[in-house]
Structure 1
Amino acid sequence: MTSANKPLLTVLSGGNSGFIPIWLMRQAGRYLPEYRALRSAKGGFLELVFDSDAAAEITLQPIRRFGFDGAILFSDILIVPHALGQDLAFEAGEGPRLSPPLVDTALASLERVQARLEPIYQTVEKVSAKLPESTTFLGFAGSPWTVATYMVAGQGSREQAAARDYAYRDPVGFGAIVDAIAEMTVDYLSGQVSAGVDAVQLFDSWSGSLAPIEFERWVIAPTARIVADFKARHPGVPVIGFPKGAGGKLPAYARETEVDAIGLDETVDPAWAAAELPRGLPVQGNLDPLALLAGGEALERAVAHILSTFEGRPHIFNLGHGIIKETPIAHVERLVAMIRGSSGGRV
C-alpha cells in the first residue's frame, strides 16, 4: 500500500499532498437522487447494506459525481453488535433496533455470528476494484462506547441514559460489553483492510454524553486498545478517531489513543484545536453541516475560516458531522470547487 498517488492517504500519514483533500461524512446517501432511486428499487436500508453490489454502487456514487478524494464504505456502525449475536432491524421512521437489549439480557447469552461480516468485506472488494487510483478508500466502525449505548438500550436513546446508568451500577458487566465490542472491532477493521480499504475511521458519535472520568474509561481506554491491536496487525494503515462532542477532552483523546488523525465536530473552535492538539497531528473537519445546507455567503465565510485556521497543519476538509439529506447538490459542488481552488488542486 502506498500513499504516493493518494493525496488523502498522504495527509493521514502526516505528509503534504500538495493540496487539501476533501470527503464528507455520509456523502453516500439520501441527499443524492441516484441513491434514492436505488433504495426505492432495492428496499430498506439493511437490504442495501447486505447487498454487496448495491452497497458498492452507493459507495461509488459520490466519487463519480463530485470526485472526492476519499470514498467511505456504505455500511452501518451496528454491524458489529449484529455479528456479536444481536438481531438488527431498521424500522421506518424509528431508526435501528437491536434485540435482545443488554439492559435486561446477559452478554454471555448471545451467540456470535461472524458470517454476518462477510457481505461487508465483499462490498469492500468490489469498491476497491473500481475506485480511481487517486481515491483513498476509508473503512470504519463504531467505537465501543457508542456501540454499547445501542446494545444496552436496544435502540438510540435520549442522553444515552441506559448505558450510562449501567456503566455506573455495574462497571464490570459493562466493561465486558465494551471489551467484546473492541475485540470484534479489531477483527472487523482488519477484515476490511484485507479486503481493500486504505484507512479506517472510528466513529464515537455519543462520546460527548460522558463525564470526564467516564470518558477516560469508556472512550479513551478502549479506543487506545483498538488502535494498538489494529496497528500490531496493520502498522501502515492510518486510523482516524472521531469522538463527537468531546470538546475540551480532545487533546487527551489525541495523545492517549495515538490515533493518526482526529476528526473535529462543528462545535470545536478551529483556532483552539490548532493550538491545543499535538503539533503536526492531521485534523479532519469541521464545517457545520447546516452551513453547507444554507450555502451562499454563510458557506463561503465558514470555509474560509477553517482553511485559514488550519493552514500549515495536515488537514482533510470535511463536515463536523454527516451531510443533511436536504442539502442541495449545487452547494456540495460549490464546496468542492472552493476547496480545490484554495489549494490549486485538481477540479
Structure 2
Amino acid sequence: MPVQNKPLLSVLSGGKTDIIPLWLMRQAGRYLPEYRALREAKGGFLELVFDSEAAAEITLQPIRRFGFDGAILFSDILIVPHALGQDLAFEAGEGPRLSPRLVDAALASLERVEARLQPIYDTVEKVAARLPTQTTFLGFAGSPWTVATYMVAGQGSREQAEARLHAYRDPTAFGEIIDAIADMTIDYLSGQITAGVDAVQLFDSWSGSLAPAQFERWVIAPTARIVAALKARHPGVPVIGFPKGAGGKLAAYARETQVGAIGLDETVDPAVAVADLPDDLPVQGNLDPFALLAGGEALESAVERILSRLRGRPHIFNLGHGIIKETPIAHVERLVALVRQA
C-alpha cells in the first residue's frame, strides 16, 4: 500500500498528513479487559509472547478498539538475550529473570539459539495479514545498553548499578556484550521487517542513567551501528529511536545515530527539545502516562500543550513512556478524540 495512505508511516517517511498520527507505547496490554481475559486463558506472559496466534490477537486488540494509526508488535525486549542463550522466565510480582547473569558468567559461555526468534516472526506475519490497510505496523527491540543491563544483572535493577560498574571495570568484556546484542538486534529487526513490519523502534529505557562519555559509548555508538546496518539492508524503512532520559543529549543522539524519528519522554519540554533538532526530523510523544491515568482537565491541558508546542513540524502523538495498567478505557477514548480533532 502507498506510504501516503498510512498516516503514521507517511510522517516517518518525511511526508505530510491531514491528521496527527497516534499510537501508544504498551497499547497492547494489561489495561485492556480483552487482553486480561486472553492472558487468563493462556497462562503467563511468555506463553502469550511465544504463541504467535495469541500474540497477533493481542497486537490487534487496541487497533480494533481505538483505531490507532500504529500497531506495535506484542513481544518483549528480552527476546534478544533469550536468543543469545540466556534462560528467560517471568516471575509473578517480580518481573523478568535472565540466567546465567553476565556479572557472574562469561558471554562466551552462552550458546546462541536463534530459533527462539521464529515465533516472533510468525506473529509479525499473522498481524501483517490482518491489519487495516491504513495502519502502520511497528516492530521493535531494546537498544543494546538497556538490554545489557538486564543481561548483566539478570533482572531490572536500581540505577542499573551492576551494568554501569561492569562497564567501568571491564569495558572490553562489556563491549563484547554490547556488540553481541547489536549483532543479534540487527538480524532480529531485519527479520521483523522481512516478515512484514513497516518501521521499527529501538527502546533505550535506561539511557538516562549514563554519564555523557558512557552515553556516547554504550548508547549512541551501538545504536548508530544498528541504524546504519538496517538502512543498508532495508532502505526506506524508518527507525525510531527512544532514548528515555537522554535530556540534553537528545541532539547528539539524533545527529550521530541518524535515526529517522526520535521519541521524547515525558520529562522533556518538547519546545525546548526540538529547538536543537532538525526541523524535518519527526518527533514522537510525549504525554505523561500519569496525565492519561488522571484524565479530565489534567489530560486535556497536557494534550493541548504538546499539540501547540509541536504544531508545524512532523509529529506522532504518543506517551512519554508506556501506558499504565490502571488507565481507564474512557481516558484513552478521550485522548483519541482530542488528538483527532486537533
TM-score relative to the length of structure 2: 0.99
CA deviation vs aligned residue, 1:127-176 (integer Å, no higher than 9, x gap): 00000000000000000000000000001010000000000000010000
Q: Counterparts of 1:92 and 1:25 in 2: how far apart (Å)?
A: 22
Q: Aligned ranges for residues 203-218 of structure 1 at < 5 Å?
A: 203-218=203-218
In the other structure, the counterpart of 2:319 is 319
| Contact 2:4-2:15 within 8 A present in 1 as well | no
Q: Counterparts of 2:44 and 2:286 in 1: how far apart (Å)?
A: 30
Q: Aligned ranges for residues 258-337 of structure 1 at < 5 Å?
A: 258-337=258-337
Counterpart amino acid of 2:68? F
SS in structure 1 at match of 2:326: coil
Q: Counterparts of 2:232 and 2:2 in 1: how far apart (Å)?
A: 18
Give the C-alpha shift of residue 17 in structure 1: 1.6
SS in structure 2 at match of 1:85: coil
SS in structure 1 at match of 2:284: strand
Give RMSD over aligned pairs. 0.6
In the other structure, the counterpart of 1:248 is 248
In the other structure, the counterpart of 1:105 is 105
Question: Percent same amino acid among aligned pairs?
Answer: 84
Give the C-alpha shift of residue 85 in structure 1: 0.3
Q: Counterparts of 1:208 and 1:274 in 2: how far apart (Å)?
A: 18
Give the C-alpha shift of residue 2 in structure 1: 3.5
Counterpart amino acid of 1:194? T
In the other structure, the counterpart of 1:157 is 157
In the other structure, the counterpart of 2:144 is 144
Give the C-alpha shift of residue 58 in structure 1: 0.1
Counterpart amino acid of 1:40? E
> Which deviates more, 11-20 or 155-164?
11-20
In the other structure, the counterpart of 1:120 is 120
| Contact 2:99-2:154 within 8 A present in 1 as well | yes
In the other structure, the counterpart of 1:185 is 185
SS in structure 1 at match of 2:14: coil
SS in structure 2 at match of 1:4: helix
In the other structure, the counterpart of 1:92 is 92
Q: Counterparts of 2:179 and 2:10 in 1: how far apart (Å)?
A: 32
Q: Counterparts of 2:16 and 2:310 in 1: how far apart (Å)?
A: 13
Q: Counterparts of 1:271 and 1:258 in 2: how far apart (Å)?
A: 21
| Contact 1:23-1:70 within 8 A present in 2 as well | yes
Counterpart amino acid of 2:69? D
Counterpart amino acid of 1:119? P
In the other structure, the counterpart of 1:194 is 194
Give the C-alpha shift of residue 339 in structure 1: 0.6
Counterpart amino acid of 2:26? R
For the pair 1:43 / 2:43, whether they are aligned, the reply is yes
Q: Counterparts of 1:267 and 1:221 in 2: how far apart (Å)?
A: 24
Counterpart amino acid of 1:134? Q
In the other structure, the counterpart of 1:81 is 81
Q: Counterparts of 2:319 and 2:75 in 1: how far apart (Å)?
A: 19
In the other structure, the counterpart of 1:345 is none
Q: Counterparts of 2:332 and 2:141 in 1: how far apart (Å)?
A: 25
Q: Counterparts of 2:178 and 2:133 in 1: how far apart (Å)?
A: 37
| Contact 2:143-2:223 within 8 A present in 1 as well | yes
Give the C-alpha shift of residue 290 in structure 1: 0.3
Q: Counterparts of 2:174 and 2:273 in 1: how far apart (Å)?
A: 32
| Contact 1:8-1:316 within 8 A present in 2 as well | yes
CA deviation vs aligned residue, 1:239-279 (integer Å, no higher than 9, x gap): 00000000000000000000000000000001101212122
| Contact 1:84-1:113 within 8 A present in 2 as well | yes
Counterpart amino acid of 2:320? G
In the other structure, the counterpart of 1:54 is 54
| Contact 2:186-2:229 within 8 A present in 1 as well | yes
Q: Counterparts of 1:50 and 1:284 in 2: how far apart (Å)?
A: 29
TM-score relative to the length of structure 1: 0.98
Give the C-alpha shift of residue 23 in structure 1: 0.1
Give the C-alpha shift of residue 323 in structure 1: 0.3
CA deviation vs aligned residue, 1:284-321 (integer Å, no higher than 9, x gap): 00000000000000101000010011011100000000
Give the C-alpha shift of residue 236 in structure 1: 1.0
Counterpart amino acid of 2:240? I
For the pair 1:14 / 2:17, whether they are aligned, the reply is no
Counterpart amino acid of 1:306? I
